[in-house]
């Protein structure tokens, strides 16, 4: 969800709140007779006459379709979209822009990580998450893989990613299966976690976007 969508939600919510407050205040003022020019009673006669017009069903149907389309567009704008296709690099000016394609960078990182001893296959992705650029490495390891060596290789790949993307990382987290419950995951700042798959560690490195 983009900042424009968040700003739009806040503006619409604010306007709807003002409208509801004004409607409530108008209803109380009408009930108390604050404004003598207002009618003492409200009738639905004119509204019922409108519903008898030939164009009324078409107008209501068209309004319903428009509301449905707007609702779908509003829901679609709130779907999480963490994909990043380009990264803006330093050196961009008003005369030109330097950027890098994310997919080749992630593919190169996965290839470099896959060359680590004990790593069977590796995948990499770069996503935007809560104002940060997050690089994730996912690998399938051989049963005899040295987790400490794999974690060290992941650190080196992530350091290369920071240099290529020109992002300064403020934190580093890694999660991998621990060989034993008492042994912490190498390179991890959190206690070991029971793995869902003994051969699928995941390493994520958040960097400032």
- Do 190 and 157 share a structural domain? yes
CA dihedral 13, 18, 20, 24 (to 10 degrees): 160
What is the rounded CA–CA span in Å between residue 145 and residue 149?
A: 8
Residue 159 is predicted with a pLDDT of 86
Residue 82 is predicted with a pLDDT of 64
- Do 181 and 142 share a structural domain? yes
Per the structure, how many domains does the chain have? 2
Domain hosting residue 201, numbered range: 88-208
Residue 202 is predicted with a pLDDT of 40
Residue 171 is predicted with a pLDDT of 39
Is 174 a domain residue?
yes
Is 37 a domain residue?
no
- Do 181 and 117 share a structural domain? yes
- Do 151 and 74 share a structural domain? no
Residue 195 is predicted with a pLDDT of 38
Residue 10 is predicted with a pLDDT of 92
Instruction: For residue 115, report the phi and psi dihedrals to the nearest 5 degrees.
Output: -80, 0
- Do 102 and 71 share a structural domain? no
Mean pLDDT in order along the chain per 10 residues (209 residues): 80 95 92 83 77 89 95 84 70 75 86 90 81 80 88 88 70 41 41 37 40
């Amino acid at each position: 969800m983009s900042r424009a969508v968040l700003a739009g939600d806040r503006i619409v919510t604010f306007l709807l709140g003002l409208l509801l407050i004004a409607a409530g205040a108008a209803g109380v003022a009408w009930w108390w007779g604050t404004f003598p020019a207002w009618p003492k009673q409200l009738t639905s006669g004119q509204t019922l006459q409108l519903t008898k017009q030939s164009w009324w069903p078409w107008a209501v149907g068209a309004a319903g379709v428009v509301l449905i389309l707007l609702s779908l567009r509003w829901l679609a704008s709130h779907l999480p979209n963490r994909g990043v296709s380009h990264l803006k690099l330093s050196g961009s000016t008003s005369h030109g822009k330097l950027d890098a394609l994310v997919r080749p960078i992630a593919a190169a990182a996965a290839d470099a990580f896959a060359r680590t001893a004990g790593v069977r296959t590796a995948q990499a992705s770069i996503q935007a998450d809560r104002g940060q650029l997050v690089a994730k490495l996912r690998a399938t390891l051989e049963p005899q893989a040295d987790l400490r060596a794999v974690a060290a290789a992941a650190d080196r790949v992530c350091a290369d990613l920071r240099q290529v993307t020109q992002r300064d990382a403020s934190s580093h987290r890694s999660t991998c299966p621990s060989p034993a419950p008492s042994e912490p995951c190498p390179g991890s700042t959190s206690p070991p976690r029971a793995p869902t798959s003994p051969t699928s560690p995941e390493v994520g490195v958040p960097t400032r976007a």
